[in-house]
Homo-oligomer: A and B are copies of this chain.
Amino acid sequence: MLDSCLRPELAAEITLQPVRRHNVDAAIFFSDIVVPLRLAGVDVDIVPGVGPVLGEAITSLEQIERLEALSLTDDSLAPIRDAIALIVAELGERGDGSTPLIGFAGAPFTLAAYMVEGKPSRDHLGARGMMVGQPELWDRLMAWCAKVTGQFLRAQVLAGASATQLFDSWAGSLSLEAYERHVAPASAAVFAHVADLGAEGPDGTAFAVPRIHFGTGTGHLLPAMYAAGATAMGVDYRTPLDEANRILGGSVPLQGNIDPAYLTAPWEILEAHVRDVVARGRTAPGHVVNLGHGVPPTTDPAVLTRMVELIHSL
């Protein structure tokens, strides 16, 4: 998995397949939350059926000091830049050349949750324990995570991605207070790495690179995650988009939130769900239609194609 992320031709191919097959309106850079760790030289791999596993869990000051000496360099970022260049070149040849590439990075908390535990965990008690029990150590770890993730995301935009998505998979395990105090500053630092960057639309219009912020189980954190420097909010399937729009004050474009559980349902049921999501999304000032979480591996690809056709017809 990690090796695929770091082979430009392969990462480009995997990024482009859903665009070719399902005719979606944007590509999302194929990568993984721990790619910046690997690029910085941290011993990490993705174990099939388990997830990211580090050579050693990062729990001590000594380990964090050793991390702080690591950084992403022009050389280490080369596979990312090369993959983006390949993707953007092919996307530019499609139709009116308007298919954008959305860059991808994992947020510092989710990255740190893997690092402190050394592997996936259900409640992220390692990270949450360090956060409240050793806040100075935690802040140093988060600052490092923010730096490499920010460099990783900035490199994607400089190489041609025209939007960014920061993916905080495990933020939903936090209370609002814990999120604001121990996590939001680092996610804000990531967004600051790309906030000065612009992109250009197919008609030549320049715009600031959109910054999408996504988590799961984060209905209670939407305003705080937006305040961290996002310009659009991803919303998982748990929060209806009209409610998300209300929570966010009616001024924030949304992304999501088709429930992946419907992908195995009879077509009429899936269709009704998609129509409902799109209708609720219309209450917001913008809606990037998308699933509210990842595509389950057992999904019939033909269903995805048909769903995209439906959405294009609405």
Given contacts A133-B266, A293-B123, is CB(A175)–CB(B239) below 8 Å?
yes
A294: nearest residue on chain B (CB-CB)? B123
CB-contacts of A206-233 with B (<8 A): 217, 219-220
Which residues of B lie under 8 Å from residue A217 when comparing CB positions? 172-173, 217
Assembly CA distance A171 to B167 (angstroms): 23
**Bound-complex Cα distance A293 to B173 (A):** 12
Write the chain B residue with the least CB distance to A128. Answer: B261
A131 interface residue per 8 A CB criterion: yes
A41 within 8 A of partner (CB): no
Asked if A133 contacts B269 (CB within 8 A), the reply is yes
Q: Please, what's the 1-or-0 string for A223-260, where 1 marks a CB less than 8 Å from any CB in chain B?
A: 00000000000000111100000000000000000011
Instruction: Say if the beta carbon of A63 comes within 8 Å of chain B.
Output: no
Inter-chain contact B262/A133, CB cutoff 8 Å: yes
CB of A62 within 8 A of chain B?
A: no
Which residues from B are CB-within-8-Å of A264? 125, 129, 133
Q: Which residues of B contact A238 (CB under 8 A)?
A: 173-175, 220
The answer to the question of A20 belonging to the interface, with a C-beta cut-off of 8 Å to chain B, is: no
**Which residue of B is nearest A177, CB measured?**
B240
Contact between chains at B125 and A260 (CB < 8 Å): yes
Chain A interfacial residues counted at CB < 8 A: 32
Cα distance, A125 to B264, chains bound together (Å)? 9
Give Cα A269–Cα B138 distance, bound, in whole angstroms.
15
Given A133-B266, A265-B133, also A123-B260 (CB < 8 A) = yes
Contact of A269 among B132, B260, B262 (CB under 8 A): B132
Q: Which of A121-179 contact B (CB under 8 A)?
A: 123, 125, 128-129, 131-134, 172-175, 177
Residues of B within 8 A of A239 (CB): 175, 220
> In the bound complex, how far is the Cα of B264 from the Cα of A132, in angstroms?
9
B residues in contact with A125, CB < 8 Å: 260-261, 264, 296
Task: Give A174 to B293 CA distance when docked, in angstroms.
Answer: 13
Q: Which of A96-126 contact B (CB under 8 A)?
A: 123, 125
Asked if A306 lies at the interface with its beta carbon under 8 angstroms from chain B, I say no
Report how far A132 CA is from B132 CA in the complex, Å: 39
Q: For residues 181 through 216 of chain A, which have their beta carbon under 8 Å from a beta carbon of chain B?
A: none
- A273 at the binding interface (Cβ < 8 Å): yes
Nearest chain B residue, comparing its CB with the CB of A175: B238
- Minimal Cβ-Cβ distance residue in B for A51: B122
Distance between Cα atoms of A289 and B269 in the complex (Å): 43
A261 interface neighbour in B132, B269, B293, Cβ under 8 Å = B132
A175 to B280, CA, bound (A): 15
Binding site for B on A (CB under 8 A): 123, 125, 128-129, 131-134, 172-175, 177, 217, 219-220, 237-240, 259-266, 269, 273, 293, 296
Q: Identify the 3 closest CB pairs spanning chains A and B, nearest first.
A: A133-B265, A128-B261, A129-B264
Sample 7 A-B pairs with CB under 8 A, ordered by A number.
A125-B261, A128-B259, A172-B217, A173-B217, A177-B240, A217-B217, A220-B238
